[in-house]
Structure 1
Amino acid sequence: MEREKYAKELEVAVRVVHVACALCERVQERLLSASDDHVISKDDDSPVTVADLSVQATISWFLSEIFGSKNVSIVAEEDTEIISKDASAGLLAAVVGTVNESLASAPKYGLQSPETALGTTEVLEAIRRCNSTGGPSGRHWVLDPVDGTIGFVCGGQYAVALALIEDGKVVLGVLGCPNYPVKTEWLNYEYQNHQTNSNFASTIPDAWGKGCVLYASKGSGKAWLQPLIAGDKILEWPNCARLIQVSSVDDPALATLCEPVERANSNHSFTAGLAHSVGLRKQPMRVHSMVKYAAIARGDAEIFMKFAKSGYKEKIWDHAAGVVIVEEAGGVVTDAGGRLLDFSKGMYLEGLDRGIIACSGVTLHEKFIAAVYASWDSSNL
């Protein structure tokens, strides 16, 4: 019933994420093929690119046009401060050009282009419109335009994440993964070789395939995957989608753990200790972004753990889309105390108990929750 209730919202979300993925692919190709000065840093030192701002403007424009700007509340990562400075004129021009290039391709994805190209003011307004802080009531779209920007900049894994929250509950999620290879081995290859091979995406043979959009509606009991379209092909909805399910592996010795590449906001030593105590034997698969949730939903990995260092607050846009997709594919996602994640408190996952644990099934999940309680007192968090 939930799938029927949000059928239009889900279809629109999938289509706009396809547009955003194509946008990101074009920008990443340009970024990796030439010296590009349109990568700057925010106050927290995370890189911001043309892609982040262009995706946010593009998705904001589509949602507002389709559902009405007065009816649309968007919680998103970026704001216009970074491109409102005189020194960022070149970046702003690049964003406007990229947005209009993407909007012009809309019919290919079953969406309508604007009658005329958007001007700078309109693009800035579309970005600014994403100024909601969410909360326990109402309907809020949650967007991370490029999750895993470091992976994006170096040619690795990243994701476009869009979710819809209604009255504090995530009701649908869409995850675009432009560089996600069909074969899991290539995710491991990427991590092992990212130091020497900066353009990982171009090394994936065509036969292995890359790029997909995953999506799910809460309560449907189904999660879906669509390959990205290439060339002049038209996006078919929903004919080209296939069902995905989590792995059936419940033996820790056979399970694969996903964890963040970055050490800045994740405690690798604690997760390594937990993995050892539960009996994991495989090397962890470390990838950027919410691709970790995609790996679990698709059955390519069994566990994702993240224990942030003291003072770091998890943002809802880093988890909302991935959580609902994993759950509908048959997995379990909670905090480290075994409680469901609470998306009703605004922009952050307030009240989070120690960390986040996502598993392909109840058996593995229970073992990790027990291990957290057993080892927490001796941890250095």
Structure 2
Amino acid sequence: MWEGEFSKELDVAVRVVHLACHLCQKVQKTLLSTTNGEQVNSKDDDSLVTVADYSVQAVVSWILSESLGSQNLSIVAEEDAQVLSTSDLLQAVVETVNECFLEAPRFGLEVSDIPLSPNKVIEAVGRCNSSGGLEGRHWVLDPVDGTLGFVRGNQYAVALALIEEGRVVLGVLGCPNYPVKKGLVNHHHQQMSEMSSASPDVWEKGCVMYAKRDTGKAWMQPLVDGKLKLDSFESAILIRVSSIEDPALATSCEPVEKANTSHSFTEGVAHSAGLRTKPLRVYSMVKYAAIARGDAEIYMRFARAGYKEKIWDHAAGVLIVQEAGGVVTDAGGRPLDFSRGIYLEGIDRGIIACSGAVLHEKIISAVDASWECSLL
């Protein structure tokens, strides 16, 4: 399907995200069936980290190194190898990683030198210590975006992007609890956050979305289940943003967590813009997936004072929305800058993602109208 620059990188990235989603599904099933806390720790900032976070980071790091070469491989990712080395999760992570690698051939990925020792797993996690930047090529990974959603059996994502010379050129977003069929997301009667608890017989869940820069195309594949093998991209379908331009008909998304976003300001902007539907509060970059596939039209994120947005929370999702026909900028209408290290520096007030330019302009105007009377 893909030709030209970055074709090999995209092929490897899509396959490894499928594999990572498979790993996450198994860990989540175990996590939800036990109450002893053996799969979860808290970090210094009180955020959660699980066996899946460390395991996915190790798996993606190891496979990118084996498939693309370890020389000059730069990976920017969230989890800290030093913390893992002293964590009571280490043994479970090592076991999870090695079990995952045994299934890698089914995803078209070959892994040598397995099983990995604890030191090798720590080394793989620690390889993701790059700080990115303007020069060169950098992979950006959020192994489990929306860990709180993951722990609660809710929405979460595995996000992998490639940045070259400061520009996102590939984006892959795995959404293991997101429904495959678009029509099953009913904004008026069922919150997306509730869907992961629905009977699996009702709808097929789990997909991977991906895009390559400047193609004007974004794709979605169902997750590979336990009986199938990922042979190619033949199961992929094109996805496209919604054509709705009237704010009164549009559906918006916002983060669930109150710690790093202002729901009250978002509500004010929505009122000013003329939005009438209740916003979907959704964990993780699944919000970008909803925009890209046309399940929602608007995603607004206004961080509280002092919070700095990290590139791994946005890179993959932003590119997929853009290539699916959407618009993503800061609240001042400027493109997000992924060239300045691990943080999205210089953001004007917040981040706005919309299904098209008409809605985007209306939301930006509403932000300006609401800003002066806010306390942000």
Alignment counterpart, residue 246 of structure 2, candidates 251, 259, 262: 251
- Offset at residue 108 of structure 1 (A): 0.6
**8 Å contact from structure 1 (residues 53, 127) kept in 2:** yes
Alignment of 1:121-132 (within 5 A): 121-132=119-130
Aligned residues: 372
Counterpart in the other structure of 2:358: 363
Q: Which residue of 2 aligns with 1:116?
A: 114
- Structure 2 Cα separation of the partners of residues 244 and 29 of structure 1: 29
Q: Which amino acid in the other structure matches residue 40 of structure 1?
A: N
1:63–1:245 Cα change, 3 Å: same
Asked whether the 8 Å contact 2:54–2:84 carries over to 1, the reply is: no
- Does the Cα contact within 8 Å between 2:208 and 2:220 map onto a contact in 1? yes
Give RMSD over aligned pairs.
Answer: 1.6
Query: Which residue identity is paired with 1:178?
Result: P
Q: Would the aligned equivalents of 1:3 and 1:220 in 2 still touch at CA under 8 Å? A: no
Q: How does 1:259-274 map to 2 (within 5 A)?
A: 259-274=254-269
TM-superposed CA distance for 1:186, in Å, is: 8.1
Contact 1:105 1:113 in 2 (8 A): no
Alpha-carbon offset, residue 371 of structure 1: 1.2
Distance in structure 2 (CA, Å) of the matches to 1:375 and 1:207? 41
Determine the structure 1 residue equivalent to 2:338.
Answer: 343
Q: CA offset at residue 3 of structure 1?
A: 5.9
**Does 1:353 pair with 2:348?**
yes
- Work out which of the residue numbers 147, 150, 168 in structure 2 matches 1:149: 147
- Partners of 2:341 and 2:133 lie apart in 1 by 4
Pair 1:10 & 2:23 matched? no
Q: Counterpart of 2:6 in structure 1: which amino acid?
A: Y
User: What runs of 5+ residues in structure 1 fail to find an aligned partner?
Assistant: 194-199
Q: 2:102 aligns with which of 78, 84, 104?
A: 104
Give the CA deviation at 1:97. Answer: 0.4
Q: Distance in 2 between matches of 1:3 and 1:335?
A: 32
| 1:135 paired residue number | 133
Number of the residue aligned with 1:161: 159
Deviations 1:234-256 (A, max 9, x none): 11311000000000000101000
Shift of 1:133: 0.1
- Distance in 2 (alpha carbons) for counterparts of 1:345 and 1:245: 30
Counterpart in the other structure of 1:299: 294
Equivalent residues of 1:3, 1:218 under 8 A apart: no
Report the AA paired with residue 203 of structure 1: A
1:279 equivalent in structure 2: 274
1:191: Cα distance to partner? 5.7
Instruction: Supply the distance in 2 between the matched residues of 1:155 and 1:10 (Cα, whole angstroms).
Output: 29
Structure 1 contact 96–123 (Cα < 8 Å) conserved:
yes
Matches within 5 A, 1:171-210: 171-181=169-179, 182=181, 183-185=184-186, 189-190=190-191, 201-210=196-205
Partner letter of residue 20 of structure 2?
A: A
Q: Are residues 1:225 and 2:214 paired?
A: no
**Compared with structure 1, are the counterparts of its residues 319 and 192 closer, same or farther at alpha carbon in structure 2 (3 Å cutoff)?**
closer
Q: Percent identity?
A: 65
- Residues 176, 186 of structure 1: alpha-carbon distance in 2 compared, 3 angstrom cutoff: farther
Consecutive aligned runs of 4 or more in structure 1 exceeding 6 Å deviation: none
The corresponding residue for 1:48 is 49
| Aligned AA (1:21) | C
Query: How many angstroms apart in 2 are the aligned matches of 1:187 and 1:146?
Result: 28
Aligned-partner Cα distance in 2 for 1:113–1:314: 34
Q: Which runs of 5+ in 2 are unaligned?
A: none
> Which amino acid is 1:357 matched to?
I
SS of 1:343 mapped into structure 2: coil
Cα displacement (A) at 1:26: 0.2
Tell me, in whole angstroms, the C-alpha distance in 1 between the residues paired with 2:188 and 2:283. Answer: 10
The one-letter code sitting in structure 2 at the alignment partner of 1:175 is L
TM-score of the aligned structures, taking structure 1 as reference length: 0.95
Q: Which amino acid aligns with 1:109?
A: F
User: TM (normalized to structure 2)?
Assistant: 0.96
Aligned to 2:81: 80
Output one character per residue of 1:228-281: Cα deviation in whole Å (capped at 9) or x when no partner.
011221113110000000000001010000000001100000010100111100
Residues 189, 3 of structure 1: CA spacing in aligned structure 2 closer, same or farther, 3 A cutoff? Answer: farther
Quote the offset at 1:37 in angstroms: 1.9
Kindly provide the amino acid, as one letter, of the partner of residue 223 in structure 2.
Answer: L
Distance 2:34 2:9 in 1: 38
**Any conservation in 2 of the 1:76–1:131 contact (CA below 8 Å)?**
yes
- What residue in structure 1 maps to residue 28 of structure 2? 28
* Structure 1 residue 192: Cα displacement: 6.9
